[in-house]
Structure 1
Amino acid sequence: MGETILVTGSTGFIGSRLLSLLEKEGAEIKVFLRPESAGAPISGNIGIVRGSFTDDEALAGAVRGADRIVHLAGVTKAADAAGFEAGNVMPVRNLLTAVRRHNPGLKRFLLVSSLTAAGPAKDGLSGVRESEQCNPVSAYGRSKLMAEKLCMEYAKDIPVTIIRPPAVYGPGDRDILQIFQMLAKGVLISAGRTGRQRFSMIYVDDLLEGILLAARAEKAVGELYYLTSPCSFCWDDVIAAARPVLGFRRLYNVSLPVPLVFLVGTLFGAAGALIGKSPLINRDKANELVQDYWVCSPEKAERDLGFIAGTPLEKGVAITIDWYRRKGWM
């Protein structure tokens, strides 16, 4: 019998594709499902443990017998910093505590963090590296960094590895779907200095390959890696990749000025606070949107893990748009 891998966040965009990949490999799989995910379809061959991240008994049952844990669960939207800590920090603390108590022989705990934990790069070419000081610009990024620091505090007892993906796209993602829906109508609305902005991206299946490499490589114990495409992109690159598939001829590119983005973020944030819901955008999110260089370096992952994200942007975009169309999302 092979290794048993526990996956959290298994019903999300990345997690659901990770399960499919692990099933194809023939791995023994367990998932930890929170109450709100109870109705999600899961293969009958996968072991399911249900409970919240505050349920010590459920966490104990989840981590027992696992050889490796891939922690994907988290929140990208919250009303305030406390909400992000509850969604991104507390689960990591409680999972690691459960591992230390109930599975001291765990081979690896892999935390899927985010480029936002580091903050934007100083330029759009080299990108941030793992050794650089972090400067997150949002509560979300700060919560992911706090989770990373927790992992390193437990590293003396538990073999941990942290990965920081940039923007992830591919079949099933709803964030970049909005971009392609706009492009299909011949419009692109973006924030900040569009002509200057550069960003890293990675196709979801490339990310999954990197996740499993990092989770299994002995050299990755106690290490942090950016898993990203070999080069950064600009909006013109995304437009050029989508144009042959979507067939738009003329494009109206609207770049919202930075002050306007912050004004909208402030207003929506205030409205969200009044009704107690996470707004689509707030001042914190606005601060992420207007940054020029969300770029990270792939060099360490290539050197240590032999990881290279091999899907060209044109191919990844074409596959993604085709999937959206077949599913009726576009």
Structure 2
Amino acid sequence: MRYAVTGATGFIGTRLVAHLTALGHDVTALVRDPRRPVPGARTETVDLVTGTGLREATADADVVVHLAALTHAADPRALTTVNTGGTRRLVAALAAQPHPPRLVYCSSLAASGPGRLRHENDPPAPVSAYGRSKLGGEQALREADTRLPALTVRPPIVYGPGDRHFLPSLTAAARTGLLPAVGRRGPRRYSLLHVDDLCRALLTAAESGTPGAVYHAGDGTEHLWSDIGAAVAAAVGRRPPRVVHLPVPLALAAARTLGRTGILNPDKVGEARHPSWTTAPGTLPSFTPRITWPDGLRSTLSPAPLDIRSST
């Protein structure tokens, strides 16, 4: 099949392109910077902010997987511009094709909102500008449902080879012996998903998902924050870190002072203050996560070449 992938140079995108090319699919990487080649794919330059090049670059695609997104920004309005507005422009370009391709939109559990074992049909309640911007992208798909076969996959925290944020931040915390948590004391729970399992979920959605559907995808386990930190610490030869609870005002002050555009920013503090971000098992047909957290952690810290058998 002919796939087009936005965000193909990012963490998830590079892994998805590797899966697609290993399976023999024809892949077009939709990129902002043509100087960044994507192994195994041809590149087309597009701009989600203006819509430039989108219709031409997707004219022959059977499936478009939309990964490109901002996860943080100094100005929250930039999240809306890229994540909501960019998705609208992509939807419009695809819907205008004589034979529109299937669109698989990679959203986020942040669009659903916090809570334990969130279901796909629970009313969305995002608590961050990022979550609202991703939910806005989902709304763009719904508005075009009579013109475009499109569906949404919402992953939780994604980790794996190429992860530049989640595990590196945890590893740094483990080495200090302190694991920060925002808000009141008590257990904190998260769903996780290895990037290769996310790629499988996206490909399964492309092949057998129902247009108009929203699918959650997690590894099927509620992970305690303290256990996640302990596993990372053990992997780097350290003792389990002590969980340090930061009052919300202090965390917000630190975010404003130290890193409005990085992982530590007020928007992410707004998410981190909630103690649970977990998803109930999703209903995506024929998808079962294969990679457990211990195995996924080991494979991330000692990455091996992608095995084509893991993609099928």
TM-score (norm 2): 0.90
Amino acid at match of 2:277: W
Residue 113 of structure 1: aligned partner:
107
* Greater percentage in helix: 1
Write the distance in 2 (CA, Å) between the matches of 1:295 and 1:187: 23
The count of residues paired between Structure 1 and Structure 2 equals 303
Q: Any idea what the Cα deviations from partners look like across 1:99-131, whole Å, max 9, x if unmatched?
A: 122x2323410100011111101xx3xx11111
Answer whether contact 2:51 2:86 (CA < 8 A) is retained.
no
Superposed displacement of residue 185, structure 1: 4.2
Percent identity over the alignment?
A: 33
| Structure 1 segments (4+ residues) deviating >4 Å | 54-57, 266-269
Q: State whether structure 2 residue 78 is matched by structure 1 residue 63.
A: no
Answer whether contact 1:115 1:165 (CA < 8 A) is retained.
yes
List gaps (5 residues or longer) in structure 2: 305-312
Residue 327 of structure 1: aligned partner:
none
Pick aligned residue for 2:145 from 120, 135, 155:
155
Superposed displacement of residue 180, structure 1: 1.5
Superposed displacement of residue 236, structure 1: 2.7
Write the distance in 2 (CA, Å) between the matches of 1:268 and 1:245: 28
Pick aligned residue for 1:221 from 211, 216, 219:
211
Answer whether contact 2:171 2:233 (CA < 8 A) is retained.
no
CA spacing shift, 1:267–1:46, aligned 2, 3 Å:
closer
Pick aligned residue for 1:297 from 266, 276, 280:
280
CA spacing shift, 1:249–1:84, aligned 2, 3 Å:
closer
Residue 328 of structure 1: aligned partner:
none
Write the distance in 1 (CA, Å) between the matches of 2:74 and 2:230: 36
Residue 178 of structure 2: aligned partner:
187
Q: State whether structure 2 residue 302 is matched by structure 1 residue 322.
A: yes
Superposed displacement of residue 317, structure 1: 0.9
Pick aligned residue for 1:255 from 239, 245, 258:
245
List aligned pairs for 1:279-294, cutoff 5 A. Answer: 280-294=263-277
Superposed displacement of residue 132, structure 1: 1.1
Write the distance in 1 (CA, Å) between the matches of 2:240 and 2:265: 31
CA spacing shift, 1:222–1:254, aligned 2, 3 Å:
same
Q: Which moved more, 1:177-186 or 1:73-82?
A: 177-186
Residue 9 of structure 1: aligned partner:
7
Superposed displacement of residue 79, structure 1: 2.4
Write the distance in 2 (CA, Å) between the matches of 1:88 and 1:250: 37
Write the distance in 2 (CA, Å) between the matches of 1:252 and 1:56: 47
Superposed displacement of residue 243, structure 1: 4.2
Q: Which moved more, 1:188-197 or 1:70-79?
A: 188-197
Residue 231 of structure 1: aligned partner:
221
Write the distance in 2 (CA, Å) between the matches of 1:165 and 1:179: 19
TM-score (norm 1): 0.85
Residue 196 of structure 1: aligned partner:
187
CA RMSD of aligned residues (A): 2.1
Q: Which moved more, 1:137-146 or 1:255-264?
A: 255-264
Write the distance in 1 (CA, Å) between the matches of 2:147 and 2:61: 16
List gaps (5 residues or longer) in structure 1: 273-277, 325-330
Write the distance in 1 (CA, Å) between the matches of 2:173 and 2:12: 23
Write the distance in 1 (CA, Å) between the matches of 2:153 and 2:210: 10
List aligned pairs for 1:106-185, cutoff 5 A. Answer: 106-121=100-115, 124=116, 127-176=117-166, 177-185=168-176
Q: Any idea what the Cα deviations from partners look like across 1:231-274, whole Å, max 9, x if unmatched?
A: 110123213433442221363432222332133335558xx5xx
Answer whether contact 1:108 1:215 (CA < 8 A) is retained.
yes
CA spacing shift, 1:194–1:13, aligned 2, 3 Å:
farther
Write the distance in 1 (CA, Å) between the matches of 2:185 and 2:236: 21
Q: Which moved more, 1:164-173 or 1:312-321?
A: 312-321
